[in-house]
């Protein structure tokens, strides 16, 4: 029996690697280096994200970060923050570190949820 979940297009590791390269090129001017964990990929493909999260949505979010010149991320060194795309209800908890002249932004997970709750600082993008 084929389920609805089987019919959803899953984001592949290769697609996520390509997104990372896209984001790194886009944000290089601001010394931001984007990384994704394995859990991020697993959660990206989670059926609880309704509608499913598309790579194009994440590309648009990285463009919004570029437009903001990455300032809020650079100010978050040594902390965990949540990047929130208000227009898409996307929540991306990240860890920001500074190493060798770069701000390393490691995306731990992702979820589409309008009423996402966190104790961490939230950086909102419209």
30 lies in a domain?
A: yes
Quickly state the pLDDT bin for 13 (edges 50, 70, 90). Answer: very high
Give the burial class of 5: count Cβ atoms within 10 A of its Cβ; 0-12 exposed, 13-18 middle, 19 or more buried: exposed
Structural domain including 14 reads: 10-113
Instruction: Report pLDDT digits (tens) over 83-114.
Output: 999 999 999 999 999 999 999 999 999 999 99
For the chain, the domain total comes to 1
Nearest C-alpha neighbor of 114 from the set 89, 78, 91, 93: 89
Quickly state the pLDDT bin for 28 (edges 50, 70, 90). Answer: very high
4 lies in a domain?
A: no
CATH number for the domain spanning 31: value is 3.30.2310
DSSP collapsed to 3 states, the chain:
CCCHHHHCCCCCHHHHHHHHHHHHHHHHHHCEEEEECHHHHHHHCCCCCCCCCCHHHHHHHHHHHHHCCCHHHHCCCCEEEEEEECCCCEEEEEEEEEECCEEEEEECCCEECCCCCCCCEEEEEC
The tokens for 6 are 């089987």
124 lies in a domain?
A: no
The tokens for 63 are 């463009």
Instruction: Report pLDDT digits (tens) over 114-126.
Output: 999 999 999 999 9
93 lies in a domain?
A: yes
């Amino acid at each position: 029996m084929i389920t609805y979940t089987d019919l959803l297009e899953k984001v592949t590791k290769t697609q996520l690697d390509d997104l990372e390269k896209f984001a790194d090129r886009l944000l290089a001017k601001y010394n931001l280096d984007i990384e994704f964990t394995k859990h991020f990929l697993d959660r990206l493909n989670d059926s609880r994200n309704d509608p499913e999260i598309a790579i194009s949505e994440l590309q648009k979010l990285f463009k919004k970060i570029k437009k903001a010149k990455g300032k809020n991320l650079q100010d978050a060194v040594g902390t965990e923050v949540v990047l929130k795309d208000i227009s898409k209800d996307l929540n991306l908890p990240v860890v920001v570190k500074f190493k060798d002249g770069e701000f390393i932004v490691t995306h731990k997970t992702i979820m589409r949820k309008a009423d996402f709750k966190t104790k961490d600082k939230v950086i909102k993008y419209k």
